[in-house]
């Protein structure tokens, strides 16, 4: 609106003053509300995805430990009993107990984040869509298996004795050079299920199980899919696909199916590259007090000159020892403790491999006969990493020949389970 105001004074001409009043006040408030709405929606998504990320990290940590436990249990049992079936079952049971013991006291089957409170109304609607029910002792929502109970074989991690590829515990072979990805049907390029394999896969998941592969009794299990809690207050649509109306279970709908979280760990044995000294107090196996020249591959019993370690209480690694650390000497007396035997190159006397030795016998004062267990998997005091402090200087020229011999003993050498993924 414009108004003319007279500002005349005696003796002056007429002065006009223009006053302009704007009707556009409040624009900043409108912009602030619009920006605030977007920020709140973004914050809601960040919180929901943060909850999923925390749960996934917890699941992955336990899956890693369970995979290593399964691999160690199988190999230690098989060495003693030579019974593949019993050792396989023991490994699956050990993996199940690892998961059960770590998640038994938490709020949900997989992951400690409480995903649904006991508020009536909206939570009950989520429960109905995910086939959940109330936990009578605490009012929490749980899935069809409930929270893990180690004494109930129908709850928690399933043993998957049939070794189905979509199961919780799968035995097979790992291929390092393949693509490390897992599809919706749980097929992988880097892992092939095989009941005679040496690698172990452990799988934890929180999903609405639209394909019915994650909740087969005896094969697979699942925790509750993580719902969008804060995100439900945004404009997130159930789905834009019209097929939801005709077949709602097979079309992903964020509001209905929530966030699927998986954790997969694969443990497979690899050649040991470092071993520590034995500990008689705790009966911990370790490096033998002597080293021998490597035999032809596949030899179980063989004779060799006996080279005593000048520092038997030190860590020994691939490429370690050498002439300054070894002395041709008398064969030591055998103890009952398990031992890891260094094999050395006859010319350089550097370590090229390790074997698990069962017994050794003196042939003459400086010659020893040893009997080894090919492919033995160590459970402790061994590593797949090289201790650089134990490697002599100037070894670069010998490295290639050492690795060539090392790889030729891949089948027979001492091994230790490591996380391959």
User: Residue 401's closest CA among 299, 311, 294, 269?
Assistant: 294
Q: Note the Cα 280 to chain centre separation in Å.
A: 32
Backbone angle region of 128, left / alpha / beta, with phi > 0 → left and psi within -120 to 50 → alpha: alpha
For 127-153, the DSSP string reads HHHTT-EE-TTT--EE-TT-S--TT-T
Is residue 68 very low, low, confident or very high in pLDDT (cuts 50, 70, 90)? Answer: very high
User: Residue 279's closest CA among 381, 377, 356?
Assistant: 381
CB 383 within 8 A of CB 273: yes
Region 244-269: mean pLDDT is 74
Looking at every residue in the chain, the average pLDDT score rounds to 76
Residues 342-363 have pLDDT tens digits of 999 888 889 999 999 888 888 8
For 353-377, the DSSP string reads EEEEEEEEEEEETTEEEEEEETT-B
How many angstroms separate the Cα of 341 from the Cα of each of 76, 294, 352? 18, 10, 11
pLDDT over threshold 50, residue 147: no
User: Residue 252's closest CA among 204, 184, 187?
Assistant: 184
Where along the chain do its domains lie? 28-232+252-268, 274-419
CB 259 within 8 A of CB 370: no
DSSP 257: H
pLDDT over threshold 70, residue 52: yes
Per DSSP, helices labelled H in 82-193 are: 84-103, 122-129
pLDDT over threshold 90, residue 26: no
pLDDT over threshold 60, residue 287: yes
Strand pairing of 169-174 and 199-206?
Answer: antiparallel
Predicted pLDDT of residue 342:
94
Percentage of residues of the chain with pLDDT beyond 90: 21
Percentage of residues of the chain with pLDDT beyond 70: 71
DSSP, collapsed to helix, strand or coil, labels residue 256 as: helix
Structure-block tokens of residue 97: 């107990």
Residues 192-247 have pLDDT tens digits of 999 998 899 999 988 877 778 888 888 998 877 887 776 565 555 555 555 544 55
User: Residue 405's closest CA among 334, 360, 355?
Assistant: 355
Alpha-carbon distance 327 to 270, whole Å?
30
Structure-block tokens of residue 15: 């002065």
Residues 268-282 have pLDDT tens digits of 888 899 999 887 776
Alpha-carbon distance 159 to 149, whole Å?
14
Residues 100-117 have pLDDT tens digits of 877 654 444 444 443 333
DSSP 263: E
What pTM did the predictor assign? Answer: 0.71
Structure-block tokens of residue 211: 């394909």
Burial class of residue 161 (count of CB atoms within 10 Å of its CB; 0-12, 13-18, 19+): middle
DSSP, collapsed to helix, strand or coil, labels residue 321 as: strand
Alpha-carbon distance 349 to 308, whole Å?
12
Task: Give the helix/strand (H/E) hosting 182.
Answer: none
Q: Enumerate the β-bridge partners of residue 309.
A: 326
How many angstroms separate the Cα of 309 from the Cα of each of 315, 321, 413? 11, 8, 20
């Amino acid at each position: 609106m414009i108004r003319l105001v007279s500002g005349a004074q005696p003796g002056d001409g007429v002065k006009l003053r223009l006053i302009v009043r704007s009707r556009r006040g409040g624009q900043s408030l409108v912009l602030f509300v619009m920006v605030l709405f977007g920020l709140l929606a973004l914050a809601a998504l960040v919180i929901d995805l943060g909850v999923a990320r925390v749960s996934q990290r917890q699941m992955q940590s336990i899956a890693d430990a369970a995979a290593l436990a399964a691999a160690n249990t199988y190999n230690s049992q098989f060495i003693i009993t030579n019974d593949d079936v019993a050792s396989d079952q023991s490994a699956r049971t050990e993996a199940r107990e690892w998961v059960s013991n770590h998640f038994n006291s938490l709020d949900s089957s997989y992951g400690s984040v409480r995903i649904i409170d006991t508020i009536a109304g909206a939570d009950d609607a989520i429960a109905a869509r995910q086939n959940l029910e109330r936990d009578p002792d605490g009012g929490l929502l749980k899935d069809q298996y409930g929270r893990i109970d180690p004494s109930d074989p129908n709850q928690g991690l399933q043993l998957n004795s049939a070794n189905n590829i979509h199961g919780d515990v799968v035995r097979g072979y790992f291929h390092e050079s393949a693509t490390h990805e897992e599809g919706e049907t749980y097929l992988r390029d880097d892992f092939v299920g095989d009941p005679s394999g040496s690698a172990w896969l452990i799988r934890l998941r929180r999903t609405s199980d639209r394909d019915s592969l994650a909740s087969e009794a005896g094969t697979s299990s699942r925790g509750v899919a993580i719902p969008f809690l804060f995100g439900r207050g945004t404009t997130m649509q159930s789905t834009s696909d019209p097929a939801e109306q005709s077949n709602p279970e097979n079309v992903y709908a964020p509001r209905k199916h929530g966030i699927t979280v998986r954790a997969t760990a694969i443990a497979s044995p690899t050649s040991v590259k470092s071993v520590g000294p034995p500990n008689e107090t705790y009966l911990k196996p370790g490096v033998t007090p002597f080293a021998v020249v490597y035999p032809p591959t596949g030899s179980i019993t063989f004779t060799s000159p006996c080279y005593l370690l000048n520092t038997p209480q030190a860590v020994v690694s691939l490429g370690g020892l050498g002439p300054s650390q070894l002395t041709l000497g008398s064969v030591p007396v055998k103890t009952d403790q398990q031992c890891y035997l260094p094999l050395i190159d006859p010319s350089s006397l550097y370590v090229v491999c390790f074997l698990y030795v069962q017994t050794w016998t003196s042939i003459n004062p400086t010659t020893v006969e040893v009997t080894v267990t090919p492919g033995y998997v160590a459970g402790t005091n061994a590593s797949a990493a090289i201790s650089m402090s134990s490697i002599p200087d100037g070894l670069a020229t010998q490295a290639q020949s050492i690795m060539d011999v090392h790889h030729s003993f891949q089948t027979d050498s001492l091994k230790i389970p490591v996380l391959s993924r």
